[in-house]
Amino acid sequence: MKNWLSPRSTAGLALIAVALIALPFVAGMGGQAWIRIVNFAILYIFLALGLNIVVGFAGLLDLGYIAFYAVGAYTWALLASPHFGLHWPVWAILPIGALVACLFGVLLGSPTLKLRGDYLAIVTLGFGEIVRIFMNNLNAPINITNGPQGITLIDPVSIAGLKFAGSTPFLGLTLTGAHKYYFLLVALAILVVVINLRLQHSRIGRAWQAIREDEVAAKAVGINTRNIKLLAFAMGASFGGIAGGVFAAMQGFVSPESFSLIESIMVLAMVVLGGMGHIPGVILGAILLSVLPEVLRYSVTPVQMALFGKTLVDPESLRMLIFGLALVLVMRFKPNGLWPAPESRRPAEATR
Amino acid sequence: MSEVLLEARAVAKHFGGVKALREVSLSIRRGEIYGLIGPNGAGKTTFFNCMTGLYVPDGGGFDFAGAPLLADAPQQAAARGIARTFQNIRLFGNMTALENVMVGRHVRTRAGVFGAMLRTAATRAEEAAIRSRAMELLHYVDIAERADDLARNLSYGDQRRLEIARALATEPQLLCLDEPAAGMNATETGELRELIEGIRGDGTTVLLIEHDVKLVMGLCDRVAVLDYGALVIEDVPAVVQKDQRVIEAYLGG
């Protein structure tokens, strides 16, 4: 653990705090869309950190992680929209979303306990698809999810009378909805990072890593690998559930197509590209992979115009091409991720 | 000295048509160093794996400290007080030496997810105790200066020692060492011998599987010999060494 109280870390933290506060206003200069891009980047940090518990710490390859995000999003959507006429408050729905996602995590975890590697990946992939297909089809005979049309008019977050949709004046600044969600997301993200760091350096975190490193040896030292693996699925899923809830509130709309396989793959790519099991690396991976495609979206056409005077390649396909190439190059030259855990860790102080 | 700690009752195990263990019965007394030897493929490691719950025996069973051991429950074996090392070292390679030993404390500690997230006073106290105990054990096996190195970067001999420290962290009554001297030179073997004698001196019973007959005969109080999955003899080294069947099994007649 870092010593948070040394003058250098205090200065560093202050700097990070200032940067975090200024970020939405700087991004906002490029238009509201950029604040939303930043917000999604933070949402992906959530997801990546949640998946990092399963994949990075416990070493269980999960290709259906987005299902938990979907479960969290639909939990929010059903409990706070005109669809069922329910409008529960945020402090009730967010924990319920986490809990429901957690149950789904155990549901997925229990039949897959004996599976590893490729086999586990295939089962989780199937699970992710099952959840999405259920959401697509649970509109008959009883209309629960409203099928492919999705659920609209979802309540935005509202804390102590402060509505997160629309603009609010604050200290001479106009805070738009995106600004407010940004600060909510940052607060939640800090919480998630702290929880992740604490879990990593705990008895449970070590047990996860032990299972990742050698399951037989982990059993031999008395780790109940079944329970500890289920715990990894449950914890990872809870983070996904919370992220999903915030996503639903922020968008005001959910539909099954937001939870396709490619989303699972993106989140997994964030974890792998950033550096599996290393929290700062995973955060970096999430930021890069969520912001880079957007930067490309806005730059591909102007660059082509400048070079050739016309748009030769459809920006959408070129964007994915560059993106894929970047992934291949990183995996070729930095197989442990862009920011992997250091080889030899410095003397760890007594944990506080 | 004479109380029986582990009793194997006609343990049998076969893989397909191969009978790896044929009704092996033996008993290990509390406080002794017990050697299990035999040629390659005699069933020594299979016996180990049955005892520590990694394999389910096809017949027979084990009594440990007066109560039967459940088959197919390795974590229960550790909780009951049986710790082991592996013939081909199995460490948590990408964790530091210290963390490896800290994992060994898992079965004797309690902190859960919520304790870890909230970092309660109890969790912090337990964590500090885990850390200091793990550090003590690294000193005990004499690799404390490598505490912050990743386990996979340790030298072969240090990895062997680290594995023993991790096993000791579970507070075993019975420590099972699977060929700890394999690949060691004479000096290292001598050091290992001192370490094992020290562990026994601290009150832990030791079960030793070993190829190095000299080490076993010099170190063990009693020795059992396996051949083709069957127990040939179980006695003090002086008797075992002179036994005609053992000489045949080992030297090929």
Q: Per residue in A12-56, pLDDT tens?
A: 888 888 888 878 777 777 777 888 889 999 999 999 999 999 999
Asked if the model's pLDDT at residue A331 lies above 60, the reply is yes
- Cis peptide bond prior to A141, omega within 30° of 0: yes
Q: b/e for B190-209, b at 16 or more Cβ within 10 A?
A: eebbebbeebbeeebbbbbb
Of A56-65, A335-344, B186-195, give the lowest mean pLDDT range. A335-344
Of A297-311, B126-140, B199-213, give the lowest mean pLDDT range. A297-311
Residue by residue, DSSP assigns A220-247 as HTT--HHHHHHHHHHHHHHHHHHHHHHH
Residue with tokens 């001598």: B190
For chain A, the average pLDDT equals 85
Q: Where are the alpha helices (DSSP H) in A252-314?
A: 261-274, 279-308
Contact between chains at A222 and B107 (C-beta distance less than 8 A): yes
The number of distinct structural domains making up chain A is 1
Residue of B nearest to A56 (CA): B94
How many whole angstroms from its chain centre is CA B29? Answer: 15
Asked if the model's pLDDT at residue B21 lies above 50, the reply is yes
With a cut of 0.95, is the ipTM above it? no
Contact between chains at A348 and B98 (C-beta distance less than 8 A): yes
| Residues B77, B37, B34: CA angle, nearest 5 degrees | 55
Q: Look up the pTM and report it.
A: 0.89
Q: How confident is the model at residue A343 (pLDDT cuts 50, 70, 90)?
A: low
Residues 155-214 of A with CB under 8 A from B: 195, 198-199, 202-207, 209-210, 213-214
Contact between chains at B99 and A206 (C-beta distance less than 8 A): yes
Contact between chains at B113 and A231 (C-beta distance less than 8 A): yes
Q: How confident is the model at residue A172 (pLDDT cuts 50, 70, 90)?
A: low
What is the rounded CA–CA span in Å between residue A192 and residue A279? 11
Asked if the model's pLDDT at residue A350 lies above 70, the reply is no
Q: What is the pLDDT of residue A346?
A: 42
Q: Which residues is B21 bridged to in the sheet?
A: B13
Q: What is the pLDDT of residue B116?
A: 85
Q: What is the pLDDT of residue A175?
A: 73
Residue A97 lies in a domain: yes
What is the rounded CA–CA span in Å between residue A68 and residue A46? 12
- Residues of chain B contacting A348 with CB distance shorter than 8 Å: 96, 98, 131, 148
For chain B, the average pLDDT equals 90
Residue A295 lies in a domain: no
Q: How confident is the model at residue B137 (pLDDT cuts 50, 70, 90)?
A: very high
Residue A334 lies in a domain: no
Q: What is the pLDDT of residue A89?
A: 85
What is the rounded CA–CA span in Å between residue A50 and residue A60? 12
Residue A313 lies in a domain: no
Whole-number Cα distances in Å, A305 to A296, A313, A320: 14, 11, 19
SS3 B18: strand
Q: How many CB pairs under 8 A join A and B?
A: 125
Q: Residue A159 belongs to what domain range?
A: 22-259
Q: What is the pLDDT of residue A151?
A: 87
- Residues of chain B contacting A202 with CB distance shorter than 8 Å: 111, 115-116, 123, 127
What is the rounded CA–CA span in Å between residue A249 and residue A91? 13
User: DSSP state, A110?
Assistant: G
Domain residue extents for chain B: 1-81+173-253, 92-171
Which among A272, A306, A242, A268 has a CA at the least distance from the CA of A100?
A242
B230/chain A closest Cα distance in angstroms = 25
- Residues of chain B contacting A217 with CB distance shorter than 8 Å: 86, 90-92
CATH code reported for the domain at B1-81+173-253: 3.40.50.300
The two structure tokens encoding residue B98: 């210290």
Residue by residue, DSSP assigns A140-153 as SSS-SS-GGG-B-S
B69/chain A closest Cα distance in angstroms = 14
Sheet containing B67-68, strands listed edge to edge, beginning at the edge strand earlier in sequence: B18-29, B4-15, B59-64, B67-68
Of A59-63, B85-89, B126-130, B210-214, give the lowest mean pLDDT range. B210-214
Q: What is the pLDDT of residue A90?
A: 82
Percent of chain B whose predicted confidence (pLDDT) is above 90: 58
User: DSSP state, A54?
Assistant: I
Residue A144 lies in a domain: yes
Taking phi over 0 as left and psi of -120 to 50 as alpha, with beta for the rest, B105 belongs to alpha
- Residues of chain B contacting A214 with CB distance shorter than 8 Å: 90-93
Residue of B nearest to A234 (CA): B113
Of A327 and B63, which is predicted with more confidence? B63
What is the rounded CA–CA span in Å between residue B212 and residue B223? 13
What is the rounded CA–CA span in Å between residue B79 and residue B73? 10
Residue of A nearest to B170 (CA): A221
SS3 B205: strand
Residue A314 lies in a domain: no
Contact between chains at B99 and A195 (C-beta distance less than 8 A): no
A181/chain B closest Cα distance in angstroms = 24
pLDDT tens-digit map of A266-297: 899 899 888 888 999 999 999 988 888 888 87
pLDDT tens-digit map of A60-118: 999 989 999 999 999 999 998 888 878 888 888 889 999 999 999 998 888 888 887 78
Residue A285 lies in a domain: no
Selecting from B90, B110, B128 the residue whose C-beta is nearest the C-beta of A217 gives B90
- Residues of chain A contacting B115 with CB distance shorter than 8 Å: 202
Asked if the model's pLDDT at residue A205 lies above 50, the reply is yes
